[in-house]
Structure 1
Amino acid sequence: MYYILECFSSSNGHKARIEYRDDDPFRFWNAGERLESVPDLPIRARVVTDKQSMLAELWDTPLPLMTRRLHDVLVAAGVTNLDVYPVILTDSRSGEEITDYLAFNIIGAIAAADLQATRFAPGSTERTISADIDSLAIDPAKTRGALMFRLAEAVNAIIVHEQVKAAVEASGIGTLTFMSPEDWVG
């Protein structure tokens, strides 16, 4: 079974916002391909916080970021297709530099949607990269056994295998959501 990995704001506060301006307009973090040019390291971004915001375990835009602890759990679960880069986040209020995050690039965009069972938005004709999906059905035979990948039909979807979900839940990380594909809209 596969799930869509999401990180939403919680009842404890809203997710802080990331500000990042990529130095290369042709660098695509969500294409599922290795970056042709690596940004200057460490990557610098700003996290915009207020009294009610919280740092997240994962952001997908504008720069895909995850905590080092989440990365460790994913690697221990068998995920081998992540390129990661050190990041320094500067807190907008305090000026504090936060170094516990990695920018990540998932290598692999897989066309795993069951096109007959997936419900696309009315009038939507796009079927790759940015398909407008109202309910997703994943064909496990198309996943090639991948544990984590971007969905080629809609690259904003990060798909994880139940093995990854179980490892993250067992680690005690409780701020991520694993959505059933049929409940995902994107």
Structure 2
Amino acid sequence: MYYVIRYGPAEDNSADLYMDPIPGKKVSFTRGERLGTLPLLTFRKRAGDRGAFLDYLGSSPPCMVVSDRFVEALRSVGVDNVDFYPAQLVDEATGKATPGYQAANVVGLIACVDAAKSVYTLMPGLPEGGAIPKNGIFEFKSMHLDYTKVHGAKIFRLFETTSTIIVHESVRDAIEKAGLRGIRLIPAEGLDAFY
């Protein structure tokens, strides 16, 4: 079984971060492509944000910011398609920097939405019918995957909407066993979601 990984639940009260620009380099963590060498990345929590630095944090621009415990959970089940970049989290209210975090870049996109079973809306302006283009889905009313195209991947970004990260149940089990916080795992089958 596969799950969509999201930030939350609300009671965990995760901090909302933003990433400092990288001098001379523009990167995207949602393309599924390798990024090469990066300097130490800095993610900031705005003064007044009462959220905590948990094991799984979101940022602007979009990037998975994860604790070293999260990295170990992925490695414990053999995940080998995520590149990690050292990061520090800075609380703007105190100026304190917190180490022990990584920016996670999931490498690879898999086109595996079962278009015949899924109910979805395409991005405005796209024609109906035919193959769903990269980032072509605006929202799902009911997502279904074609597992013959997944080939047992443990974690991947969905080609049809690259902001969606999907994990195998072995990853879910490792996350739960480690007691990681700031993570919601939602069954992929039948998912109703807006992007």
- TM bucket (normalised to shorter chain) is 0.7 to 0.9
- State, as a whole percentage, how many aligned pairs show the same letter: 25
User: Aligned to 1:177, what secondary structure does the other structure show?
Assistant: strand
Structure 1 equivalent of residue 114 of structure 2 = 114
CA–CA distance in structure 1, aligned partners of residues 57 and 25 of structure 2: 19
1:130 Cα deviation after fit: 4.6
- The AA in structure 2 aligned to 1:156 is S
CA contact (8 A) 2:135 2:160 kept: yes
Question: 1:162 maps to which residue?
Answer: 169
The 1:54/1:73 distance shift into structure 2, 3 A limit, reads same
Counterpart selection for 1:50 from 36, 48, 68: 48
Q: 1:148 — aligned with what?
A: 155
Alpha-carbon displacement from aligned partner over 1:140-179 (angstroms, at most 9, x marks no partner): 1111110000001101111000111111111222431111
Task: Tell me which residue corresponds to 2:179.
Answer: 172
Deviations 1:97-128 (Å, cap 9, x if unpaired)?
11121011111111111111121127753632
Shift of 1:65: 0.9
Q: Quick check: 25-34 or 46-55, which moved more?
A: 46-55
Q: Does the Cα contact within 8 Å between 2:109 and 2:156 map onto a contact in 1?
A: yes
In structure 2, list runs of 5 or more residues that go unmatched. Answer: 127-131
TM-score (norm 1): 0.88
The 4+ residue runs of structure 1 with deviation greater than 6 A are none
Contact conserved, 2:17 with 2:45, CA < 8 A, in 1? yes
Amino acid at match of 2:96: E
Q: How many positions carry a matched residue from both structures?
A: 183
Task: Give 1 or 2: higher strand fraction.
Answer: 2
Does the Cα contact within 8 Å between 1:7 and 1:57 map onto a contact in 2?
A: no
* Deviation for aligned residue 1:85: 0.7
* Contiguous gaps of at least 5 residues in structure 1: none
Q: Structure 1 residue 101 and structure 2 residue 101: aligned?
A: yes
Counterpart in the other structure of 1:66:
66
